[in-house]
Structure 1
Amino acid sequence: MTFDEAFKRLIGHEGKFTNDPKDRGNWTTGIIGKGTLKGTKFGISAMTYPDLDIQNLTLENAKTIYKRDWWEKISADDLHPAIIFQVWDFAINSGMGTAKRKLQKAAGVAEDGIIGPLSLRAIKKMDLNDILMKFNSERLMHLTSLSTWGRYGRGWTIRVAVQLNYAAMDN
């Protein structure tokens, strides 16, 4: 799994500019009704990048941000390619710390959000299909626990279903 392959897949989920005032990611503070409503484009949100001109963000600029701030921070070189994309996609959708903790939970290790030697050993010891299935199960359980599930749950479920297809293709 190269970054370019992963990015092409990701843009299938993330794309057009959205400015939903009920989505906290669209606000510069991450708090609905506080700060500036700047929106999200290509999955790059005002909450995460409050100083960025979200509406005028180019696809190339988004790609640079994803490589620098997300791809390079998920231990991509240390994980199986099938796992990398799953964790990366979830990190973009729900936050890096959440994605790493759910991967650790799926592997049965302490959920500290640091994918270090102990986590990597546990992940590598598991059957690839098992870790992929457990990780996506943790992802769904996390998403269904959110107060915004009623509003965004259908879209999140479709996204996880697509991820399960990718997991089957990549393993």
Structure 2
Amino acid sequence: MDRNFARALSLVLKSEGLWSDNPADPGGATMKGVTLANFRRYVKADATKADLRKISDDQVATVYRRFYWDAVAGAQLPGGVDYALFDYAVNSGPGRAAKCLQAVVGAKQDGKIGPDTLVKLKGMMRATVVDEVCDQRMAFLKRLPTWKTFGKGWSSRVSSVRDEAMKMAALPDAPPPVRVEVPVEVPKPVVPEKVEQKVKEKSGFLSWLTGLFGSGAIGLGWLGGMDWQAVLAGGVVLLVFLLILLLLRSQIVAAVRQIKAEVAE
């Protein structure tokens, strides 16, 4: 995948090293793995070896992306497979790397990774593809006449590529979504109008009853002003009224609370 380009490039550069101009190397003079021919093709047409040795990091990334990564459709390959094929392309050419992948997945080996190759690739496990690509790459390198000179270094490089590609293949192509917990404010229950009306009716009845008992008590007190026995009788009656009032009040309060609790649920 394209998000692996930066990581894959950093791994490739560790293997490529810096300046090299070994006569036995068919690639000729290279700096950070960039050949003079590719530097002239993508950066500066009349570049010299001295210019190549001064190549910037951005120029290196441009060459690797355009000549190798894009050539093997790196942005469309699954994680791990992209790096294994990318490194193969840098080391032995994009065309050969692409044909190797096509041979592994059973597609037409034309050196151009297209829809057919990608569809067949999706039907295979990444680890299997990485292993087979690295195996075929090693088989090719061992057939080269320069194997005796570079074989040890190539073996170490392919082994490292295999290990890193397997790690990348084990990771998901996209990071899991980040879940953000948003506190939800629970609205207070709204008491319907009918319930409010019932509460008012209960309260009104209580007020009326209280007034009635109060008026009765006053009347009895006035009548009892002429006789102490009447006053005593009025006091007893008033006490009874008060007890009844307290009992009714508690029942009404309990009923109101029950109504509100039912609404809240």
Give the alignment's TM-score, normalised by structure 1. 0.85
Of residues 23, 32, 35, the one that matches 2:25 is 23
Query: Retained in 1: the 8 A contact 2:84–2:165?
Result: yes
Structure 1 residue aligned with 2:253: none
Moved more, 14-23 or 153-162: 14-23
Structure 2 residue aligned with 1:121: 119
Structure 2 residue aligned with 1:45: 35
Correspondences of 1:100-139 after superposition (within 5 Å): 100-139=98-137
Of residues 150, 157, 160, the one that matches 1:159 is 157
CA shift, 1:18, in A, is 0.9
Structure 1 residue aligned with 2:5: 3
Provide, for residues 120-154 of structure 1, a one-character-per-residue CA deviation record: whole Å limited to 9, x for no partner: 11111112211111111111111111111111111
Of residues 88, 91, 103, the one that matches 1:90 is 88
Moved more, 57-66 or 14-23: 57-66
CA shift, 1:170, in A, is 1.1
Query: Retained in 2: the 8 A contact 1:90–1:139?
Result: yes
CA distance in 1, matches of 2:8, 2:31: 17
CA shift, 1:68, in A, is 2.6
Moved more, 123-132 or 70-79: 70-79
CA distance in 2, matches of 1:13, 1:60: 18
Query: Retained in 2: the 8 A contact 1:17–1:40?
Result: yes
CA shift, 1:47, in A, is 4.5
- What amino acid sits opposite 1:46 in the alignment? L
Structure 1 residue aligned with 2:60: 62
CA shift, 1:59, in A, is 2.8
Provide, for residues 66-112 of structure 1, a one-character-per-residue CA deviation record: whole Å limited to 9, x for no partner: 12322222212321021111111110100000000011111122211
Structure 1, unmatched stretches of 5+, are 27-38
- Whichever structure has more helix as a proportion of its residues is 2
CA shift, 1:7, in A, is 1.4
Structure 2, unmatched stretches of 5+, are 41-45, 170-265
Larger Rg: 2
- The DSSP-based 3-state class of the residue aligned with 1:113 is coil
CA distance in 2, matches of 1:107, 1:63: 29
User: Are 2:15 and 1:13 equivalent residues in the alignment?
Assistant: yes
Query: Retained in 2: the 8 A contact 1:25–1:48?
Result: no
Identity across the alignment (%): 28
Cα RMSD, aligned residues only: 1.6
- Paired residues in the alignment total 159
